[in-house]
Each structure stands twice: as C-alpha cells, then as structure tokens.
C-alpha cells in the first residue's frame, strides 16, 4: 500500500489549550488506516500539548514548523532540533515559503537545518516551490533544483530520510492550486533528482501543498506521483481537517 500523508501546518494559529481541544475532537473521529498518516505541525509552544494528546496513536506524527541549525546558543527566539525533540517532535518543516520570503531564509541556512534535524533523528520536510513570475517565465524546475541544492553532499541514506513538500508560492493561502498534472510534473522531477543520488523512486516521499481543501484533495491524491498533502488554512479547523483526512 502506498503512503498517504495528510500534514497540517498550523502556522501561527492554535495555542496549547486550543491544540488540546482540537486533538480531543479530531481523535474522537479518527480511526487509524493502514498507509495513511496524519502529521501535525503546531506552533512550538503547542508541541508538547499535541504530542501528549496524540499519545503515540498509530498513524499520528508531530513536528515543529522550524528549527535553528545550532543545537544551543545565543539565538533569542529560536528553538533547536534537540529542543523540538524534547518537546515531542518527530519531524520539522524546513524552508517553508513563509520562512524564505518573509524571514529571508536562504538555501544555505535551509541546508544547515536539514543536517541539524538528521543529526537528531528528526524527519526533515523540506519545502520547495517557485514564485508566480518564475513559473510564468518557465523557470519552475530550475528554481526547485536550486532549492534542492540545500541537500547537496548528503549520502543516499540521509537523503532517504528527507521528505519534500512541493508548494508553489503562488498557491499558498491564495485559493489557487497547481493542477494534479502540473504538480505531478514537478514531483517527477524531484523524484528523479533523488533517484540520481541513489534513493529508489518508491522510497522518496513528496507532498503537494498550496490551497488544498476537502473539495480538491481527491484528484491531487489520485495522482500516483503525489504521496500526500501539506495543508495550511484548511488544517486549523477541526471539522474541515477531519473531513479531509476521512
């Protein structure tokens, strides 16, 4: 059975108490199904609440939205990979477009974060994706390839632990999505990039993100290249999220 991941990026929504309430309702409706995984990326302060509420339920994974590349130090406001792990994270997003375009994170920093996560046995979910003008100029694959360079130098064993989320910037929070065919083309390119570095095609997990909602998730997941979805807006409402996962 192929892997199907439903990952919710809560961004700067839902504090610890909201998160506990969300999980209570969600889990009352949740039944584990083979091959389906539900990942939650809450705000850092809500990580322990989500991890405790999930209580190791089958098919549920908890992750941080961001980490620093150093393990500790004078970096006010940051959290490190080992801290995220201590708070209950098993994974973390890296290079989300909001980190890149609002906070100015570079591919070099993104690469260091991936390595920090791997050092601490956390699964990196590396987000890549082009801006609208880059797509219009036909530069999508070139941009994605440039962002994948954050993984340069990792061996096949390390690369095999990385999940990629293809999230076209123009589709995030805008109500626009890539068509399943457009997304599949980019996913195929990413899969080939990993295969050229020794990771078997079936072992590379690639999510699609960008305005995924209950009414458009099915055709996206029907595309064999798409192993799951990374969802922002539609993941913070428990009714919508439960419906999507169901």
Instruction: Give catalytic residue positions.
Output: 96, 167
Q: Which is nearer to ligand PEP, 186 or 199 (CB)?
A: 186
* Contact status, residue 30 vs residue 245, Cβ threshold 8 Å: yes
**What are the structure tokens assigned to 45, written together?**
């302060």
Question: DSSP code of 183?
Answer: H
**What are the structure tokens assigned to 69, written together?**
């590349």
Whole-number minimum distance, CB 163 to ligand PEP, in Å? 13
DSSP per-residue codes, 174-220: TS----HHHHHHHHHHHHHHHHTTT--GGG-EEEEESS--TTTHHHH
**What are the structure tokens assigned to 42, written together?**
């809450």
Instruction: Examine residue 173 and tell whether it contacts ligand PEP (CB under 6 A).
Output: yes
Instruction: Scan residues 148-167 and list those touching ligand PEP (CB under 6 A).
Output: 167
Q: Quick one: how far is CA 20 from the chain centroid?
A: 21
Question: DSSP code of 88?
Answer: T
Out of 4, 9, 113, 199, the only residue in the binding site for ligand PEP (CB under 6 A) is 9
Instruction: Examine residue 212 and tell whether it contacts ligand PEP (CB under 6 A).
Output: yes
Instruction: Examine residue 217 and tell whether it contacts ligand PEP (CB under 6 A).
Output: no
Q: How many CA atoms lie within 13 A of 36 on its CB side?
A: 10
Out of 5, 233, 238, 242, the only residue in the binding site for ligand PEP (CB under 6 A) is 233
Instruction: Give the per-residue contact string, 27-56, with ligand PEP (x = CB under 6 A; - = no).
Output: ------------------------------
Instruction: Examine residue 105 and tell whether it contacts ligand PEP (CB under 6 A).
Output: no
Q: How many CA atoms lie within 13 A of 198 on its CB side?
A: 10
Out of 83, 117, 172, 220, the only residue in the binding site for ligand PEP (CB under 6 A) is 172
Instruction: Examine residue 8 and tell whether it contacts ligand PEP (CB under 6 A).
Output: no
Residue nearest ligand PEP by beta-carbon distance: 232
**What are the structure tokens assigned to 46, written together?**
């809500």
Whole-number minimum distance, CB 74 to ligand PEP, in Å? 29
Closest CA to 129 of 118, 140, 120: 140
Q: Are strands 123-128 and 91-94 parallel, antiparallel or unpaired?
A: parallel
Instruction: Examine residue 228 and tell whether it contacts ligand PEP (CB under 6 A).
Output: no
Q: Which is nearer to ligand PEP, 154 or 163 (CB)?
A: 163
Instruction: Examine residue 232 and tell whether it contacts ligand PEP (CB under 6 A).
Output: yes
Q: Which is nearer to ligand PEP, 53 or 212 (CB)?
A: 212
Out of 126, 231, 244, 245, the only residue in the binding site for ligand PEP (CB under 6 A) is 231
- Cβ-Cβ contacts under 8 Å for 188 (sequence gap 6 or more): 225
| Spatial separation of the C-alpha atoms in residues 206 and 26, rounded to whole Å | 25
Instruction: Examine residue 210 and tell whether it contacts ligand PEP (CB under 6 A).
Output: yes
* Contact status, residue 93 vs residue 127, Cβ threshold 8 Å: yes
Task: Kindly list the residues in this chain that would bind ligand PEP in the complex (CB under 6 A).
Answer: 9, 167, 172-173, 209-212, 230-234
């Amino acid at each position: 059975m192929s892997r199907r991941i439903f990952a919710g990026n809560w961004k700067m929504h839902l504090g610890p108490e909201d998160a506990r309430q969300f999980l209570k309702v969600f889990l009352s409706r949740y039944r584990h199904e083979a091959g389906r995984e539900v990942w939650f990326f809450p705000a850092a302060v809500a990580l322990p609440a989500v991890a405790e509420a999930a209580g190791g339920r089958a098919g549920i994974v908890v992750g941080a939205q961001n980490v620093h590349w150093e393990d500790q130090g004078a970096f006010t406001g940051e959290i490190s990979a080992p801290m995220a792990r201590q708070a209950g994270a098993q994974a973390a997003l890296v290079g989300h477009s909001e980190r890149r375009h609002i906070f100015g994170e570079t591919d070099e920093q993104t690469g260091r974060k991936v390595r920090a996560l791997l050092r601490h046995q956390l699964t990196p979910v590396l987000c890549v994706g082009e801006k609208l003008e880059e797509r219009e100029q036909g530069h999508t694959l070139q941009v994605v390839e440039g962002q994948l360079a954050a993984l340069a130098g990792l061996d096949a064993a390390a690369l095999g632990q990385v999940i990629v989320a293809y999230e076209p910037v123009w589709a995030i929070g805008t109500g626009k999505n890539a068509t399943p065919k457009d997304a599949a083309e980019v996913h195929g390119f990413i899969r080939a990039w990993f295969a050229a570095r020794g990771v078997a095609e079936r072992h590379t997990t690639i999510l699609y993100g960008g305005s995924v909602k209950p009414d458009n998730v099915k055709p996206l997941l029907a595309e064999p290249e798409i192993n799951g979805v990374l969802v922002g807006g539609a993941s913070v409402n428990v009714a919508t999220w439960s419906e999507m996962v169901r």
